[in-house]
Each structure stands twice: as C-alpha cells, then as structure tokens.
Structure 1
Amino acid sequence: MKRNALAAGLSQALFCMAMLPASLAAIAQDQAPDAGAAADPKQLDTIVVQAEIAYRNRTDDTAPTLVYDLEYFQRFEPNTVGDMLKRVPGVGFVGSDIMEFDGAQMRGLPGGYTQVLINGKKVPGAGDDRSFWVDRIPAEMVDRVEILRSNSANRSGDAIAGAINIVLRDAYEFDGSYVRIGANRWYDGEVNPTFGAVTSGDALGGRILAGVNVQDRYRAKLKRSDRFEDPSMEELVSWEDQTEVKDGRDYSANLSYTANVGDTGRLSIDGFYVKTDRDVTEVSFEEEYDDDDVITSDVPGLATVDQANWGVGLEYRFDMAGGTTKFELDHARFTDKSWESEEAHAYENGEWDESEAEAEYIDAKDTESSFKIAHKRPVGAAEMEFGVDYRRKKRDFAFTTYEWEADDEGDPVVYELDGVVASVIEEKRLDPYIQFNGKVGILSWEAGLRYETTKSDIRYIEDGEVEGSASKDYNELLPSAHLRWDLTDADRISLSLAKSVKRPNFNELIPALLDGEFGDNDYIGNPRLDPETANGIDFGYERRLGKKGVVGINFFYRDVKNLIEVINTGAPSEEALDNWEEMVEDGDYETIEEAMAAEPAESWVFTSANVGDGKVYGVEFDLSTPLSVFGLDNTGVFLNYSYVKSKVDDFLGQRRFNEQAKSVFNIGFIQDLPSLAASFGVSYRKQGDAYERVLGEEVTVKYGEDLEAFVEKRFGKNVSLRLSAANLLDASKDEFFHKFDTLGDQIARDYDEYELETEEAGPSYQLVLRWAF
C-alpha cells in the first residue's frame, strides 16, 4: 500500500514508543486497569423494572460528553435509537417522514456532518452523505447513548457537528435475563407485535450476553399536495391526494463475549445484525388543469426495501511496558437490495390519454474494515495514549432503471431496461495519533494530534462500459485540546478546541452526467474534491443539582473551510444541446454554432467544488433533575433547548446550511407513585423550521408539535406493564417548494411551480409487558 511519508514515519515512531522499557512508569503510579478487579455486573431486573427515575449521567470525561442510559428513555418505550435521540439536546431530524426518526443531525447540520458510532467504531450506512440511519438499531440492544460534542485524537475526525456513540449492552456489564413483549396500534386500526429478549451470564470461561429483537414496523400516512403557478396561489395548476403504507419487519440480534486472559489480559468479541424487510405502497390520485382540459391520473406505486447492517469486532488488551496495550479488529457491512416502481394512468376529460411506468433497482454494498493498535501509559503526572488506525472502505453501488409506455388502455406493464449506472469507491486510511491526559488540582486537561491520510480510487461504469476513473489523496492534521475546571463539587466549566473533517458525499465524487438533475440543468460529480474541515470551539458550564440532577449550557462555534457547493461549469446542458440540434433540423439555422450564437443556453452542466467558508454557531441548554428542592423527590423534569445559526455563500448569495432546523425544544416530566408501584409521564417536542436551497428548488420544512405520554404499573420486582402513546397532537410535516427550470429563472423568480405538501400519520399506542428473571 502506498502511504504518505509523514504518516508512515509517525506510525513507526509510535510503534517504537510502545516498546519502550517500563522505566518511564517509575515517574508516576501505574494507572492501567486490572482486568480481574471489575465491579459486579448490573442486574437486568433493576433496569427492566425501574424503581427510581433515571436522569442524565454526569461523566468524568475531560472532553465534553453527555451520557444517557437506556433507562433515561425507557419509560416512553422507544422502539429505535432514533426514538431515543429525539429527546437529547441538539439532535434534530429534517427530511424524515412524520413519526420517523432516521437521519440524526447534531447542531442542525445535514446528516453527513454527524458521526454515528456503534461501540465507538465507525459503521457504514444507507446515506449517500456517509450518514447512518439510527432508526435501524432497536432501543433494546442499547446500554447507553453518548453525545460527543467535540473531537478527540483517539477517534476518527469525521465529526464536524459532533459524534453519537451508540453503546450496545455487553456481557461484562450486565447479568440476568428478561423478555419484552408488546403490541402497537396505529390510527387506522392496524395492530403489530413486538418482541425482545436478553440474557447474560457466565459461560465458556467468561461472560456471554445475547439479545434478539423482532418488531413490525408499520406506518400509514395521508399526504396532500397543491401546486400553483407561483406563491400568490391565485391559479391552481394541479393537486394530489396520496395514501402511503409502510409495512415491514425488523430483525435484530447482538452478541457479546468477554473473558479474562492471564493476570491482566481481557478478550472481548461483539457483534450485531439488523435486517429490514419492508413494503411501501402508495396510491395517488392527481388532477391537473391545462386551459379548458382536465387531466386526471391514477398513480399507484410500490417499493420493497431489503436492507441489512451487521458488524463484528474483536478486542484484546493486556498490560505491557508499564502500561496497557490494546488491539482492535473490526468489520462492518451494509447491503441494500431495494426495488421501487410507479405507474401513471392519465385521462383527459374522462378519456384515456396515456399510461407509463418507471422502476429502479438498487444493489449496494458498503463495507468497512479496520485494525487499531494503541498503547496507554503514565508519563510523569500525565497519561499518554498513542496508536495507529488502519481503515479500508469499499462502496459498490449499482443503479438500474426500467421504463414502460402503453400502446392501448389496459396493456399489461412490461418493463424494458433503460440503463445501468454503477460505481465503485475505495478508500484506504492510515491514521496515527498521540494524546495526553492529566489533572492538576481542579483542572483536568487533554491534548492530542491525529494525522489522517486518505487514498481514494473511483470507478464509474455505465451500461457495462467503464466510463471513467480517478484517484485522490489527501491528508489532514487534526489537533484537539480539552480543559475542565471543577470549580466546586457541583460546578464545572469546560473548554474544547478541535479540528475535524467531512469527506465529500459519494454522489459528489462520481463523474457521471445526470441529465435534468436540477430542473433543466445537468450535474456531473467531481472526483477531485477535497474534504471540508472545521476549527471548532465548545464552551460549557454544568452544575449538579442535589444528588441526581444536572443542568448545563454549552456554546459552540464551527468555522468550516473548503465548503462544498454546486457551481456552473459553463458547459451547456443536454436540454440546450437538443434544442440547438432541433433548430438546425428544422432549418432555422445552418449549423449548431449559429444556433448557439443566436439562442444562448438557458440551462447548464453544474458540478460540485470547494468554494469557500461557512460558519455555524449556537447554544445548547439541558436540565434533568428531580424536584427535591420542592419536596417532590418522586417527580422528575427534563428540559433541553438548542438554538443554531449558520452562514453559507452559494450561487444566489447568503443562506443557512441546508436542512438546518433553527431550534429543537424538549420538555417533559415523570411522576413516580411508589405506594402504588406505578408511574406516569408526558414528553413534548418541537423542532424549528428548516430551509434548503439547491439549484432549481428551494424548500422550507415545518414539523408540528410532538406530544407523548405513558402510564406504568409494576408487579413486584420482576414485571412491569406499560402503556405509551405517541403523536397525540397528530402533528403534520409541511413542505413549501419553490421550483424553477433554470438558474436565470431562479434569480428572476420566474416560477415553474409552487407546491404545498403536507403529511399526517395520526397517533399510535403501544402496550408492553416486561418480565425479568
């Protein structure tokens, strides 16, 4: 493998340091953990049947980190990690359908700016922007969720907005067994089951934890679209009513094995598997007005989703050379084999006019493999950690399209191949790092350097022919520093400075010409893109309230460099070329050159480029505490609010980052009734409006208020019965589309269409029985 010289040198130096004699350890007390001196595992029955209200954890991490155990969310019975994350500070969801929470966005930035980890490790996902859909992981697999607000040298730097670490339950921390069984009822009367089971205990010379989860995923919604000539809404062009039903099932499992080896070694093996099978049925009726003609269309659509995520990891740590050495080996994979089709049967003034259909098939495989070696040891009054990460990523994507057009009414749909576009993107990374941690009096500190090297190769294939290939190497030095002042036992201040990166989206790299991607404008990817980088600051204050409560406020700022935006290449679009050729064929002009001179192009080929800078800043507040100060020890309140702003310059001027919700607000309470062995609670959430401007289209997205509630009855120490309800206010998702054919039209506000679209899904109810044994 060809490696950057600086990366290779750092890697060799760090490896030699790992072999140093233990003489340095005499400077300070050995801080390596004793594998055989672990605390007793937590009992699962105390987690399943909660006797007390759970609050946000207050961590001892120097880097700004918020930790939420599953118990914090559990009484509202979240089905997925997405249902959990919608209650934590600074995490929004823009683009998700109503009552669905898939692409998590920290600081309101698009999903690709947030790094999602499972057990501290990167995993591939469905997002073209390298994001991971968090609704793929069931809540029952999770031990805790960590919100990592700033970057550290000992993990990947792909975290401009921050990172979300989903820590799965493992055998080392849990003991016991439980079963979860329940049912969901949706607003249209559909009832779906859900089942989960977890067991953990001593086996095979160590400890094993195994969990399975099967849950039906159902969502029915109603959608209405009204389309006008322009925002004045004086002339209705068309309207559409649609019913959509998503009906499927998720299967998931996780396994963890931990064993002590010798006096100081510990071996850990973990794995997870999640599979989604889903059918999406759409039934639409459209009516369009063209002068005195009325065109109606029946538009049935069907999609089948077949996706799977799985990963396996091995870790071995042992004492060596006065410290602790760790080896990690991981492999994760995402596969997608999904089909989507849509038919349109149009009638003009009641008479059949035409029938046509389109279909597309996705065959994608995204894999990531990594190896890491790290050594941690005391040096003086500090602790030093250094290591090397090697990572290989391969994304193999094929997109096949089909089409059909009827000759007569009632002809059966017989699809014909339209085209196949495929791409292969390979990335290899070698990332050495070094990090120091220490504490002086009331001040805890962390400082580190990470050097990330990336070598990427891209191949693009169309209809079986290799159309192009490209290679790109880039390197980034990522410093980070964190300070924490423990002013008192209750008060602390934190300051973080860190540099992070965002690699280009996959579609931005592929040099394939997409005809009509933005209105009449075409688009072609740019494999020469550099990653975006950001220098970030986080400054926070946190105070402990009594024995369990905590309140905190955090200010953040990100200065983003090498921002990737769409620019005009200056080449005419396929639409413009076809128009000129038609003019010549019609005899209007003798040559293409004459037509081009007489009728300048109005649509162009656009691409992505590193164009400049962007800024993101805001404030995050969170409160989690019992009302003990009022004598209400059994009443817990939860409140968080995030407000964000940003500045980006694009082809039309200044705007916010696309899809950035202005704010996220959560408030709720839980009331425990110990004498009745019961409890109840309510949670309210409101997400601010988001705006997106791309070439040919501008969209504003608004979500309604989300109200949830639960009531719980406990039976002894081993059984609980819980009824929860979601979307009690029947919230809607409303989108406002401003559509244009060309850049000139967008600048002049000459509309192709203005559309209002709204969708609703109704309340849902869930009854769950938990039994621990």
Structure 2
Amino acid sequence: MAIAQNTGTVKGIVADKDSKETLVGATVTLKNDNKTYKVSVSTGLDGSYTFRNVPKGKYEVEAKYVTYKDEDKDFELKVGEVKIINLNIESKSNNLDEVKISGKSDEGSDYKSRSIERKSDQVLNAVSARTIEVSPDLTIANVTQRVSGVSIERSNNGEGQYAIIRGMDKRYNYTLVNGVKIPSPDNKNRYVPLDIFPADIVDRMEVYKSLTPNLEGDAIGGGINLVLKDAPNRFTVRANAAVGMAGSLFDQDYTKFDHSASSKSSPRIANGNGYSATLADFPNNPFNYSTKKAPVSTIFGLSAGGRSADKKFGALAAISYQNTYRGTKTVFYDTDVDRATNEPALKSVQSRAYSIQQERTGLHAKLDYKFNKANKLDLYASYMNLAQNQFRFQSDTTLNLGRVGMGTGRVSNNYRSSRVVQQIFSTNLHGEHEIADNFDMNWSLVYAKADANEPDRASLSIVTGRTAIFDASGNKTGSSQNPILFNSTGAAQSHVWAKNSDEDKTAYLNFIYKPKIADTNVEFSFGGMYRDKTRTSSYDDYSLRLSGSTTQTYDGNINNNTFMVQTVGGSPSDPLNYNFKEKIAAAYAQFKFNVGKLQTLGGVRYENTQQDWVTSANINQIIGAIGSKKYDDFLPSLNFKYALGDKENLRLSYYSAISRPGFYELIPHTGGDPDADYQELGNPNLKRITSDNFDLRYELFPKQLDQLLVGVFYKNIKNPIEFALVNQATSVFYTAANFGNATNYGFEADFTKYISKFGFRANYTFTNSKITTTKTVLYRDAATTGLTQRTEEQTRPLQGQSKHIGNLSLLFKDAKSGIDAQLAAVYTGPRIFTVSPYLDNDIWQKGTITLDLSAEKKISKNFSVYIKVNNLLNTPSELEIKRPYQITASTINQDVANQTVGENVFVRKDEYKQFYLLGLRYKL
C-alpha cells in the first residue's frame, strides 16, 4: 500500500505523425535517468499503452515501430500523478503513408481493409487476410457469415457453402476473383459454391452491397470479391500445418468405400449411344465398405513471393491443401397435406448417417511487371479443387401403421457412395496504360473453366422390418426381426454418372479520362465487356435388379449376390444431357467528380443477353427441350458520398440490377439432387429478375481499427424466383418459378471497438421482405362431404431471408506475449427453407446460435501455434412446419419420435457436433 501511495501512472497513444493513425504493437519503453528502472510494453489494439505503479522521478519514454523513426520524450512524474504522454512518430520514408494505404506489404492488413471501406466509391465491407487467419474459419464460405448482413446456407456436412446477402438467396449474388466473375462448378446454380475456396489463399475478401456502372449488373443482393495474394515489397514466406478431428466421429465410425475402379464416364458416354451395358461396367468396389475410428484431418498451406530490387517485377505463388473428415446424422420426416383438413401429414421417417471426406486444394500464382510509369502488365492464374467422398446410410420407415405401432412394419434401407470433384481454373492477363497525362486505359483477357464430375453414384436398396406378435386376444406381445432382403420386383442397385462443365472466354476494355472542368476534377470512364459462355451437362442413370425371380438375402457382402442390368442403355434422352450457350455483351459510361466534400458517381450500364440450349430429350414430348432467350437491360446507378470529416462519411446510393435464371432451372429436367427430399423439375418459362436498390449508410472510423457503420436499404424486386412444391398428376415436384413482385428492406449496424488489449466486434441486421403468392387450401365440403380445394393469397418472407441475424466477437490481442484470441458467436433467425404450394405449410429452418473459438500464441520470432474449434454448442440444423402437430387416424396409436402434440410439426434435424484443429504457423 505504501508503494502504491508513492507512485504514479504513465499512459498515452502512439500514432503516425502525418496520418494520426494509431499504431498497434509499437514497443514503448519507460526508463529513469540513472537506468535503475526500465520497463517495456506493447501498444494495444487502440494504439494505447499504460505503465502503472511507477515511482516518482524523472523519466524518458521511447516508442519504436518497424519502418518508423524512434521517438522519445522526457518528463517528471509526481506522486499520485497520471501523466499522459502521446507519441507521434515519423515514417522513415517520406511517402510511407501512401505505402500504408496502397503498398503491397499492407494488402492483407486490417488497416488496409478499413481504408478500403472508407475510400471506396460504393457501399462495401472488407475482411483482411489477418482477420481471416486468426478467425475460426477454414473456408471463405464460413468467413462470409462474420460480415454484417450476411448469413450462410450450409451443405449436408454442416460447413457453409453459399452466402445470403441481406436476405437475398445465393441466386441474387455473384462471386469475383480479383474483380473478375468466374464460372460455377455447381450442378444447379450459376453462382460459385464458396466452400471451394480455402480461406488462407486470399489477401482480402470484399462484400459489395451496391454496384457502380463499371461492375457487372447481375447482383441484386450483392457481390463477393476475393482479392488473391499479391507479391509483397520484400521476399516473404508464409506456411502453416495443422491436424484436426471431428467430434461427430468420436462416437460414430467413419465409413469409407473404394472408388478406385469407378469409371469417370458412364458406359454410354465411353462407348457411344446404342451401347448395351453389361455387369462388367458396374464393379462392386463402391459397395465394399470399411470403417475406421476418428480419422485425422490435415491442413497445409504455403506462400512465397517478393519483388525485384528495382520494384519493377513481382512474383508470388501459394498453395493450400485441406483434407477433412466429418460425420453427420439426420432425421427427416417425409410430409404431405391431409386432403380433408390442409393439415401437415407424416408419410414416413428417415434416419440418415453420413461419412464425408473433403479434399480442398487451392493454387495461385501471380506475376507483374512495371515497364515504366505508364505501362504495367500482370498475369495471374488460380486453380481450386474440391473432391468429396460421401457415404450415406438411410433407413426409411413408413408411418402408415395403423394400430400396429412404431417399431414394426416395412423398413427400406439404402446404402449410397458418391464421389464429386469440383474444379475452377481461371487465368487473367491484365494491362494498365497511361496514354496521356489525363487519359488511361486498362484491359483484361480472361479464360476460366469450372466443372463438376460425379462418377458412379452407387446405391444399394434392401428391405427389412419387424413383424408384430399378438396373443389370442389380439394384444401385441412383441415383435420379430424380418430377414434383410433385396426387393425382387424393383431396382436393387442404381448407378448414376453426372458431369457438367462451364467455360468462359471474357474480354474487358476500359478507358478513363480525367479533365478539369470549371476548376473541378472530373473522371469519365467508359468501356465494355464480352463473354462467351458454354455450359455442357451429361447424365446417365442405370438400374440393376436381381438375377432370377426369387429374393436374395443381403449378408453385408455384395459379392455373394447376383444381378442383371435392367436399363442397359443409360439415359440418353434425359434432358440433363444438354448444351447451353450464353453470350453477354455489355457497355457502360460513368462519371465521378467532387464538389467540396461531396463526391458524386453515376452512369448507366447496358447488358445484352443471348441464351440458347439444346437437350437430348424427345422434342415432341418435352416442352422446352430446345429453347432460346434474348433480352436487353439498361441499368442506371447513382452514388453520393459526403465527407462529414476526415474519418466520417455519409453515403446514398441507387442502382438497378438483374438476376438471370440458372441453366439447370431452365432445362426441362426431372430428377436431381440425391439428397433432395423431393424430385426436381425444370422450368423453361422462367424470366430474369429485375430490381431497384437503394442504400443509405453513415460511416465513422475514429481510430485505425475502430469503426461504426449504420445503414438502411430497400429493394423493389420484380419476378423473383423461388423454389416451390408443385403437383403434377400424382407426383409432387420441387421447381423454380417466378412469383410476382417482392420488396426487401432493412437496417444494418456494424461496430468495432478496441481498448488496449481487448476488442469488441458486433453487427446486427434486420431484414423484412414481402412476397404475395397464391396457395392451395384442401378441405372437405360440409354440404357435399366431398374433398375439394380453393386458393388464397398469402404474404410471406422471401425464401432464405432471416428477419434477424447478428455477430458478436470478443477479441484479445497482446503483441508482447504474442497471444491473439477470439470467441465468435453467430445468430441466424428463422427463415423459409422450402415454399409449399399449400397455405401455411411452408417448411422453416429454425433460428440458430453457433459459437466458435480460435487462438494463436507466438512461440518464437517466426513460429506460432494456433487452435480452432467450430460449433462449440453443437448447434444442429432443424426444419419445421409452423403448424401444431395433431393426432391423425394413421398415428393415433403411435408414439412418433420428435413430434409433440400442440407444438410445430418436426420435419428434419441435422447434427454436426464440433470440429477441432491444432496447427503451427511460420512467417518469414
């Protein structure tokens, strides 16, 4: 206590002398005149430092920071005094402030991302490579969920796959790599599945929330731009390696299968139309299963690059490899609608167990050369590959059991093994040229190709069950297990080959003219784009049945059974065998100027779209088997940015945008995703979507990393496309359709604050969309007692839109001890998963809260260790119909699992559990 009474406190801020930006991680040393007292600390996330319990006396405080000159101050500290010493240190280079903003060495920094947000011409959010590196995320898809206004759609392994921006489904958004749109390997959508990108291959991720005329116009929701790693100013090496394990595989064996003998092409594609397949074309390898306990996941990444001594030539190469194993469990109820009451009805219950291996590879290389001040060329190429091996066991139990009760009756079991390989290759030759002092030109030649190949999705179908045993009085006394048999009347095996390819050849040309008009600097830009896209798809489905007319018992070894090929010719007339061509020609004119503190940017973009497709379906039986579409769009936009201060902006923007239907949606196909709960149906009558979009946002950047972003948005959408269940004859299909008009509006708040070593990052988005569609009501007419139906209009949210989403991250960073940690929570509110054709029968995804953890500890100058833990709360994905579950004639004597009378009808639950990762990182 006596020591404390004779001491004081010294604290302050270390900042850049010119820009006044605070410096994180600067070393501050406090020492007295006779050198008997000396202590050092590092500045916190807000650039602050503090020395407590300092004895009275004369001192010197000194600040040191890389590439900055040392700065010191002398002072005298009195007893009980709180001395504030702010140190403004000067760069060793006269133009360092400019380098900090645009220099190669800062591209992946948090400060670079904040600077881009502040200076951009449009409304956007940016996430730096450093933020991504220390986050709990392994893929770009999962990174997107940390951004305000963005939620994710997950794949069946629980990993993020697509981004939903401001409640707008994946179809309304596009993906760019270094500002250039790339094709998609997805078998349904024209937009890229973001889980194909490893997170450690980018310098920065940008989320566009408004468009300017020089950007492609098919992004009603927004765009995601991945800025890949660039050559730094000095030679730099980054490497990391990690091992991990899925918590779901601690109590569930991982099942693998042999895919080595599977042919990449179907028998028909390999041998030509008219070929009759034989048993030799279908080896039993995919049905040879084996299990192992908790396989170990592995992660590896390496990047190296730098610039020549004269800084004219730069080169960088990067590789990322991830091999992960996961297991998931699913319970799914196949639902229908009661013909007399329009209430949900349960048909069957399925339990599914998945074993999933994903091998994700990312390769990236970039070269650039600056010939002189006026001419520069760069060439980059990237290759992304996602190979997934998936085993699924499904058990399907009918619920139409009458008085027999649960646990008895017919059970259909299905074993399925599939391997899907998705690839994206993209290369871009880009040039920048100064033609005159105020006239510039840039151009790009881009070749990109994406494909997905699923060779031999092999399924095995068997039947079994339990038979109830009754006493003489008719009371159930037990049950007996039935044999496990192949069904002699249906397909015992199915083999599917599916392959699609999407090839783009694109050219860009832009001119920028910067005259001075009436003492105002004005920038005029104009240019164009032409893309030639070719999309191909092939599909074959083969069935094998038991040889002979009797049933056969399945003992777990498929080699003990005999089969014959039932569909020897494959599926040559299936509409999923198609060729699709799309040509897009675009031109734009844009202006930008500043008057005082107001920047104005506006212009118009023109896009011409021509689409043609040909399928192998019988054109006399299938409507739309051959088709074409052509349309023109004029897309104006206007953006205002008013600088309320050096670190404060007010933005107002308007832009018009479109969204084109997916190729898969236009082709008149039947069938589709093997994991889908309903058969899919194509719709060649789909129209493009158009929208008018408005944004207002206030921005404040008080310190280097702190920020406050608050805004509102409004979208008026014409002909939105959504998936819905439709009835055709006796079947129910899942199809895309246009649904009149819709509106979507909301509010966003994004707040980041750092205090010394602690940080707080939070964002919240409210979104409210409305669309009115016609729904069917089934009922029994009281007068005639007959079953009939009527239609009613119903207003609901857009599919995939959550009214409330939010993020909360607690951060800790101590540069001196080398600790960087965060606990990150994500809330995603309820949203419509499937639109039903029946009133009040839409299937909703429940709201979720997920919690992830990551931490890094520096152990030497060049090495650090890190951990990442995903899904700490074991949050499942659950679906429901917001109607109370009721006892029906078919379930009166059943105790149906997961269903509670009076509560919402349970539809589906997917459980993923945690994923753990421990790694080592190297930096030179």
Which residue is equivalent to 1:483? 640
SS of the residue corresponding to residue 102 of structure 1 reads: strand
The 1-side partners of 2:379 and 2:875 are apart by 43
Which residue is equivalent to 1:665? 806
CA offsets per residue over residues 305-348 of structure 1, 9 Å max, x none?
11111100010111114311111101111111114233221125
Distance 1:762 1:154, change over 3 A: same
TM-aligned CA deviation for residue 507 of structure 1: 3.0
The 2-side partners of 1:100 and 1:625 are apart by 29
Q: Are 2:435 and 1:316 equivalent residues in the alignment?
A: no
Is residue 344–residue 905 contact of structure 2 (8 Å, CA) maintained in 1? Answer: no
Which residue is equivalent to 2:3? none
Aligned pair partner of 1:342 in 441, 459, 463? 459
Which residue is equivalent to 1:153? 213
TM-aligned CA deviation for residue 235 of structure 1: 9.0
TM-aligned CA deviation for residue 281 of structure 1: 0.7
Distance 1:209 1:342, change over 3 A: same
The 2-side partners of 1:332 and 1:559 are apart by 33
TM-aligned CA deviation for residue 404 of structure 1: 3.0
Distance 1:100 1:413, change over 3 A: farther
SS of the residue corresponding to residue 195 of structure 2 reads: helix
Which residue is equivalent to 2:442? 326
Question: Which shifted more, 697-706 or 517-526?
Answer: 517-526
Is residue 314–residue 330 contact of structure 1 (8 Å, CA) maintained in 2? Answer: yes
Aligned pair partner of 1:730 in 871, 874, 878? 874
Which residue is equivalent to 1:377? 513
Q: Which residue identity does 2:642 align to in structure 1?
A: W
Aligned pair partner of 1:190 in 295, 306, 309? 295
Aligned pair partner of 2:853 in 703, 709, 714? 709
The 1-side partners of 2:334 and 2:738 are apart by 35
CA offsets per residue over residues 638-691 of structure 1, 9 Å max, x none?
101111111112232322111222222110121123442223221111111111
Q: Which residue identity does 1:284 align to in structure 2?
A: Q
Distance 1:415 1:729, change over 3 A: farther
CA offsets per residue over residues 239-287 of structure 1, 9 Å max, x none?
3332211113112200000001244100010111011222101123343
The 2-side partners of 1:703 and 1:174 are apart by 47
TM-aligned CA deviation for residue 42 of structure 1: 4.4
Q: Give the CA RMSD over aligned residues.
A: 3.5
Question: Which shifted more, 229-238 or 458-467?
Answer: 229-238
Is residue 186–residue 763 contact of structure 1 (8 Å, CA) maintained in 2? Answer: yes
Map 1:1-400 onto structure 2 (within 5 A).
42-43=104-105, 58-97=117-156, 99-127=158-186, 128-171=188-231, 175-187=235-247, 188=249, 189-202=294-307, 206-226=313-333, 238-289=348-399, 290-291=401-402, 292=404, 294-321=409-436, 322-339=438-455, 340-348=457-465, 349=467, 350-351=482-483, 354-355=486-487, 356-380=492-516, 381-400=521-540
The 2-side partners of 1:606 and 1:515 are apart by 10
CA offsets per residue over residues 544-576 of structure 1, 9 Å max, x none?
23342001111111101233468999xx9454x
Is residue 55–residue 72 contact of structure 1 (8 Å, CA) maintained in 2? Answer: no
TM-aligned CA deviation for residue 416 of structure 1: 4.3
Which residue is equivalent to 1:676? 817
TM-score normalised by structure 2 residue count: 0.69
TM-aligned CA deviation for residue 447 of structure 1: 0.5
SS of the residue corresponding to residue 59 of structure 1 reads: helix
Is residue 41–residue 174 contact of structure 1 (8 Å, CA) maintained in 2? Answer: no
Q: Which residue identity does 1:180 align to in structure 2?
A: N
Distance 1:304 1:377, change over 3 A: same
CA offsets per residue over residues 36-66 of structure 1, 9 Å max, x none?
x97895459x979x9x999786430121122
TM-aligned CA deviation for residue 171 of structure 1: 2.2
Map 1:623-702 onto structure 2 (within 5 A).
623-627=751-755, 633-652=756-775, 653-691=794-832, 692-695=834-837, 698-702=842-846
The 1-side partners of 2:508 and 2:753 are apart by 39
The 2-side partners of 1:551 and 1:257 are apart by 37
Q: Are 2:461 and 1:402 equivalent residues in the alignment?
A: no
Which residue is equivalent to 1:756? 907
Question: Which shifted more, 461-470 or 339-348?
Answer: 461-470
CA offsets per residue over residues 156-177 of structure 1, 9 Å max, x none?
1011001111111122667411
The 2-side partners of 1:497 and 1:683 are apart by 33
TM-aligned CA deviation for residue 634 of structure 1: 1.5
SS of the residue corresponding to residue 314 of structure 2 reads: strand
Is residue 269–residue 313 contact of structure 1 (8 Å, CA) maintained in 2? Answer: yes
TM-score normalised by structure 1 residue count: 0.82
Is residue 56–residue 68 contact of structure 1 (8 Å, CA) maintained in 2? Answer: no
Q: Which residue identity does 1:616 align to in structure 2?
A: N
Is residue 233–residue 306 contact of structure 2 (8 Å, CA) maintained in 1? Answer: no
Name stretches of at least 5 consecutive residues in structure 1 with no aligned partner: 1-33, 576-602, 628-632, 740-752
Distance 1:642 1:758, change over 3 A: same
TM-aligned CA deviation for residue 701 of structure 1: 1.0
Map 1:593-612 onto structure 2 (within 5 A).
610=738, 612=740
The 2-side partners of 1:442 and 1:241 are apart by 62
TM-aligned CA deviation for residue 503 of structure 1: 0.6
Distance 1:729 1:191, change over 3 A: same
Question: Which shifted more, 609-618 or 359-368?
Answer: 609-618
Structure having greater relative contact order (Cα 8 Å, sep ≥ 6): 1
CA offsets per residue over residues 491-537 of structure 1, 9 Å max, x none?
3210000000001122332245679999999955225x432110110
Q: State the aligned residue count.
A: 687
SS of the residue corresponding to residue 661 of structure 2 reads: coil
Is residue 42–residue 174 contact of structure 1 (8 Å, CA) maintained in 2? Answer: no
The 1-side partners of 2:439 and 2:740 are apart by 44
The 2-side partners of 1:524 and 1:557 are apart by 31
The 1-side partners of 2:607 and 2:112 are apart by 43
The 2-side partners of 1:195 and 1:334 are apart by 24
SS of the residue corresponding to residue 82 of structure 1 reads: helix
The 1-side partners of 2:159 and 2:432 are apart by 39
The 2-side partners of 1:178 and 1:604 are apart by 53
CA offsets per residue over residues 397-424 of structure 1, 9 Å max, x none?
1222222333522444555445242121
TM-aligned CA deviation for residue 288 of structure 1: 2.9
TM-aligned CA deviation for residue 101 of structure 1: 0.7
The 1-side partners of 2:493 and 2:879 are apart by 26
Distance 1:546 1:296, change over 3 A: same
The 2-side partners of 1:415 and 1:621 are apart by 60
Name stretches of at least 5 consecutive residues in structure 2 with no aligned partner: 1-94, 250-293, 468-481, 554-560, 776-793, 884-903
Is residue 865–residue 918 contact of structure 2 (8 Å, CA) maintained in 1? Answer: yes
TM-aligned CA deviation for residue 390 of structure 1: 0.7
TM-aligned CA deviation for residue 116 of structure 1: 1.2
Question: Which shifted more, 218-227 or 251-260?
Answer: 218-227
Q: Are 2:607 and 1:452 equivalent residues in the alignment?
A: yes
The 2-side partners of 1:502 and 1:147 are apart by 17
CA offsets per residue over residues 118-162 of structure 1, 9 Å max, x none?
111111113423121111111111010111111110011011001
The 2-side partners of 1:251 and 1:606 are apart by 33
Q: Which residue identity does 2:236 align to in structure 1?
A: G
The 1-side partners of 2:608 and 2:112 are apart by 46
Q: Which residue identity does 2:810 align to in structure 1?
A: F
Q: Which residue identity does 1:620 align to in structure 2?
A: E
Q: Which residue identity does 1:374 align to in structure 2?
A: N
Distance 1:357 1:544, change over 3 A: same
The 2-side partners of 1:426 and 1:182 are apart by 43
SS of the residue corresponding to residue 487 of structure 1 reads: strand
